[in-house]
A and B are shown apart, each in its own frame.
Chain A
């Protein structure tokens, strides 16, 4: 678990959710892995246990974590995680695209760039 980024103005529970999601999406945590206990994480990050509880609760509602009473919280791998990962990455792409739009880059240029990058990647892997 990464530390809290103090320059990030997002609420802390969002930051915790995000860093756990990132661990799951990137494969650093896989199905059945146990999340750190609320007490441990609270002491480790010096933050309120209820904040962590809230982050875990919302992750559970999103479906990437299951809680077993008395045992703890565990990673759950489902299709919805893959879908959520896709959604997240696409929304990043949307942000970048609209930023490019605002400085006057045309859709064709953006597409050309994406194609060139894709070919570059294939080229690299063929070496």
Chain B
């Protein structure tokens, strides 16, 4: 659905995107994660045709996206900083969306009123941040998008509304095969909804994997070796930490293989634990110099 290759974007000499390549398969839910300032919002503004890249290529559904109205008509976009016309209510914005998006589904708009329960006449700019997000979801789901691009979508939403919007989006994914690209810092939540994950750092994509593949290929080992017993060899250790006699290792590889290697060394005790996406994120970025520093103030 989205094919980005070697994209560079410079702002006043600062390379916000530095040869970024990524690939979002059709029908997938792709989570874009990365530290602050990694360039997530910048690439999203390219994918929605807001910015034009300095070099490289961005194809959405096989066609360049910049100034491409017919493709953009099929993209729903929820930006982090929403824009609404001065004193426009949800109903006014709905009419505007209806004029712009040829696939706007009025019946769906009426049905979703029950979910969002916003006052349609109230100027959206006077609503709270979370309610503005809700208004955006309401409008964006009505355009029946083939691609939904969400930049920090649940920021400001309460827990009930978060579940509610994800439920609506997931229904769209399973029913219509909608492709979703979502950037967020809430990794716990991304783990539920995504099947692909891309990790960005300093304008580049560090890694891009199916989530299941990512989780199947890394695990946490807690290990106590016997007195004088040697460490198991042949493990691809990403990170290790010793507290007393207990060693905690982050190991890359298949769980069964790791288990076998460790068992062969006859440890006093060991336990294999899967890693959450949050832990994977921390350890993968630890390898590229973005670590939690142990500073006591």
Q: Which residues of chain A have a CB within 8 Å of any CB of chain B?
A: 4, 6, 9-14, 38-39, 42-51, 54, 102
Contacts and interface: CB of A to CB of B under 8 A. Distances in A.
A46 B275 contact: no
Interface in B155-207: 163, 166-168, 170-171, 173-175, 188, 191-195
B273 interface: yes
Given A4-B192, A9-B276, A11-B212, A48 B29 contact: yes
Interface of B: 28-29, 163, 166-168, 170-171, 173-175, 188, 191-195, 212, 215-216, 268-269, 273-276, 279
Contacts of B173: 42, 48-49
Contacts of B193: 46-48
**Dominant SS among interface residues on chain B:** helix
A10 B274 contact: yes
Contact of A11 (B166, B215, B279): B215
B3 to A, nearest CB: 20
Nearest to B177: A49
21 contacts: A4-B192, A9-B273, A9-B274, A10-B274, A11-B212, A12-B192, A14-B274, A43-B167, A43-B174, A46-B167, A46-B170, A46-B193, A48-B29, A48-B173, A48-B192, A49-B174, A50-B28, A50-B29, A50-B195, A51-B195, A102-B268
**Dominant SS among interface residues on chain A:** helix
B167 A48 contact: no
B153 to A, nearest CB: 13
A47 B174 contact: no
B115 to A, nearest CB: 12
Given A48-B173, A102-B269, A12 B167 contact: no
B114 to A, nearest CB: 15
B188 A6 contact: yes
B170 A43 contact: yes
B188 A42 contact: no
Give the 3 A-B residue pairs with the shortest CB-CB distance, closest first: A49-B174, A46-B166, A43-B171
A49 B170 contact: yes
